[in-house]
């Protein structure tokens, strides 16, 4: 097998080059090649300095995570980096693109670092529930201080080369397009410099104030996660006066604890699940896609406006349609306001705002959609309304255009039946706010053409969405699983639980909010029949009293002017009234019962979705719930969590409360199998 590492002589400088597409991951063959290259340079008296660089789009962009959980092939990365740092000849890291994770650690072990002007460097391991395990937590604070080390390791976002230069993490920035030449010149310049600067030999000053401030500022972000605390502890260890060797031992212990824990397994599962979700079963990956150069959006409300922004931000022109001029003006005004707010925060330039708004064509006529390649309707959630609209679009929009519905519950096949081209109809269920939420459920109708589905899935990447394919069923994947949770939460109220207890259990589990907090935020009145004299449920009673949620200052909770919630005495009275009229005895509800009846039932519904083949794979369901509903990342999604809890435990919990258990879940309980 040809090594991905080659060497070139440039006079007295040996250049060690990696060419291992697509991202020069630090797999076994790359590590072995680097080991051989360094040893070649050290053993040759005519070599005075060495440069490590990469071909392709990027420097080493991290470890090969397919090796995780398998026996490590020598040399391990820590061993390799110790050898590089201990070398008695200067070793210069010359990086472009991204130097991430193990790639960043390679640069830290080198004596000098030079970067392309557009390069970034970082340690994103925390996003996989891990930490930089080859000395990163010990070398960064020694080179750049505690505040930057905390940011890089515990948050994990990469930093630009210019920031790294100012912080002392790198030594030079190369000229535009001249990294290879500049690195060789830098190596010659440093060839005779002694002593060689080694990060491990530097002292890192403790900064307890910075640590305390960092923890306080990120308390909400870190809630429930193990890895950020481990990264912080390692940075503190680097500054407590311990030797570098002791720091490395501590780092290794923390790394192994995380690696063997369920949180990192969950986060690594999600890493692969997101990539797997983009693959469509039964469709060739090289299928010819339809060109999408112009998009139409029907409805300029919250959803329509947010959907439009996704395409405008990606440089795709949008024609947006409303029925009334004031609604159209209001909708386009909100789009501009959102863009200007982004510009005020430095996320966009003013000229980008104007370019996006310049690509938006507001109109009151559906006829202006005739030349669009994709039309997405975001109108009232009513089947008759949608069928009437699709029949009109069928007569207006050019042949070969894709017709999409943003419905969150309704049957795509029935909508498609109102057209003469059901093969061109697909569901595109965006989540609100559509310009922010990453999830897109792509609903495949019985007659949806393969190239339509593939085009929409590819387009999702263009507009920076994580897309998941769903079959046609009520609520698709996400909302279908949400329903049993909401039903059981309401039953629990009638039996003795309070909204605040049920919500607390969900928040402690790791959800951003509980069922009743979510209802108040979204609007208790959503889907309400609008007859205040017809009171058949607790929700009806709340709506009849104008308790529509946060927007009214009252829902399941009372709210102050800053929308801070407090338990409501009036809601307690309403619940008690319904309970007494239903002759239900009030009893103590345990937190465990709330989990069993609201979360185990979701898992059960997920198993039914898999049985019915409404989702392609269990990991797709996890992606939906992570990106669409805020399921805690460190629990990996409901189906992954079910596997870690154990199917036997979940089946027992469901049967205890009289639920009918899905056959697939039963089978997993009997076999000890996992969802696939």
- Whether 40 contacts 10, CB under 8 Å: no
CA–CA separation, 36 vs 74, rounded Å? 12
CA triplet 526, 531, 536: central angle to 5 degrees?
80
Sign of CA dihedral 623, 627, 628, 631: positive
How far is it, in rounded angstroms, from Cα 526 to Cα 602?
A: 22
Q: Check if the beta carbon of residue 431 is closer than 8 Å to that of residue 439.
A: yes
Q: How many residues does the chain have?
A: 676
**Cβ neighbours for 186, distance < 8 A, ≥ 6 positions apart:** 92, 94, 112, 114, 171, 172
DSSP 643-671: HHH-HHHHHHHHHHTTPPPPHHHHHHHHH
Q: What angle do CA 524, 546, 517 make, to 5 degrees?
A: 30
Counts for the chain of helices (H) and strands (E), in that order: 29, 19
Point out the residues that are catalytic. 105, 125
Structure tokens at 321: 């349609």
How far does CA 546 lie from the centroid of its chain? Answer: 36
Q: What is the rounded distance in angstroms from the CA atom of residue 318 to the CA atom of residue 313? A: 10
Looking only at the bridges linking them, the beta strands covering 120-122 and 112-115 are: unpaired
Residues near 640 by beta carbon (within 8 Å), at least 6 away in sequence: 266, 269, 270, 618, 619, 622, 675
- Cβ-contact 199, 85 below 8 angstroms: yes
Largest CA distance in the chain: 94
């Amino acid at each position: 097998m040809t090594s991905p590492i080659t060497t070139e002589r440039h006079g007295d400088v040996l250049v060690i080059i990696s060419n291992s597409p697509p991202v020069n991951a630090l797999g076994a063959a790359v590590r072995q090649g680097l080991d051989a290259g360094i040893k070649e340079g050290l053993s040759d008296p005519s070599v005075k300095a060495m440069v490590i660089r990469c071909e392709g789009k990027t420097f080493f962009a991290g470890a090969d995570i397919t090796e995780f959980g398998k026996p490590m092939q020598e040399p391990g990365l820590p061993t390799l980096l110790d050898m590089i740092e201990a070398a008695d000849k200067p070793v210069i890291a010359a990086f472009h693109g991204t130097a991430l994770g193990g790639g960043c650690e390679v640069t830290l072990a080198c004596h000098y670092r030079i970067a392309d002007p557009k390069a970034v460097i970082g340690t994103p391991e925390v996003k996989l529930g891990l930490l930089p395990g080859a000395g990163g937590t010990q070398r960064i604070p020694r080179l750049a201080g505690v505040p930057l080390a905390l940011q890089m390791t515990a948050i994990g976002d990469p930093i630009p080369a210019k920031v790294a230069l100012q912080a002392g993490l790198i030594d030079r920035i190369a000229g535009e397009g001249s990294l290879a030449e500049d690195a060789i010149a830098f190596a010659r310049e440093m060839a005779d410099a002694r002593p060689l600067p080694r990060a491990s030999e530097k002292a890192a000053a403790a900064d307890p104030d910075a640590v305390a401030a960092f923890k306080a500022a990120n308390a909400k972000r870190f809630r429930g996660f193990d890895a950020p605390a481990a990264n912080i502890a390692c940075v503190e260890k680097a500054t407590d006066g311990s030797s570098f060797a002791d720091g490395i031992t501590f780092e290794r212990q923390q790394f192994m604890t995380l690696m063997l824990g369920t949180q990192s397994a969950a986060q690594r599962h999600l890493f692969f699940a997101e990539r797997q979700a983009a693959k469509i079963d039964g469709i060739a990956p090289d299928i010819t896609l339809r060109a999408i150069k112009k998009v139409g959006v029907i409805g300029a409300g919250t959803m329509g406006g947010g959907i439009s922004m996704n395409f405008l931000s990606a440089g795709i022109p949008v024609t947006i349609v409303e029925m009334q001029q004031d609604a159209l003006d209001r909708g386009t005004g909100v789009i501009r306001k959102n863009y200007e707010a982004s510009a005020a925060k430095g996320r966009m330039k003013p000229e980008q705002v104007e370019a996006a708004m310049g690509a938006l064509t507001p109109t009151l006529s559906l006829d202006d959609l005739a030349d669009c390649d994709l039309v997405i309707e975001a109108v009232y959630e009513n089947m008759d309304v949608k069928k009437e609209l699709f029949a009109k679009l069928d007569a207006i929009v050019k042949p070969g255009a894709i017709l999409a519905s943003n419905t969150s519950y309704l049957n795509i096949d029935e909508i498609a039946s109102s057209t003469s081209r059901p093969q061109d109809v697909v569901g595109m269920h965006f989540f609100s706010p559509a310009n922010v939420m990453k999830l897109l459920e792509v609903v495949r109708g019985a007659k949806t053409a393969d190239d339509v589905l593939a085009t929409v899935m590819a387009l999702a990447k263009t507009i920076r969405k994580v897309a998941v394919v769903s079959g046609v069923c009520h609520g698709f994947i996400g909302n279908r699983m949400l329903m049993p949770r909401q039903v059981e939460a309401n039953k629990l109220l009638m039996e003795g639980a309070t909204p605040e207890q049920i919500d607390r259990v969900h928040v402690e589990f790791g959800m951003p909010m509980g069922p009743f907090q979510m209802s108040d935020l979204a609007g208790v009145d959503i889907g309400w029949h609008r007859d205040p004299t017809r009171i058949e449920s607790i929700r009806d009673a709340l709506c009849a009293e104008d308790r529509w949620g946060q927007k009214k200052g009252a829902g399941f909770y009372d709210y102050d002017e800053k929308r801070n919630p407090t338990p409501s005495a009036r809601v307690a009275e309403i619940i008690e009234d319904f309970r007494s009229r239903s002759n239900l005895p009030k009893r103590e509800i345990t937190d465990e019962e709330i989990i069993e009846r609201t979360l185990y039932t979701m898992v059960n519904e997920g198993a039914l979705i898999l049985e019915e083949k409404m989702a392609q794979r269990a990991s797709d369901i996890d992606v939906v719930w992570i990106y669409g509903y805020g399921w805690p990342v460190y629990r990996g999604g409901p189906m992954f969590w079910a596997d870690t809890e154990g199917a036997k435990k979940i089946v027992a919990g469901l049967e205890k409360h009289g639920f009918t258990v899905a056959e697939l879940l039963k089978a997993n309980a009997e076999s000890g199998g996992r969802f696939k």
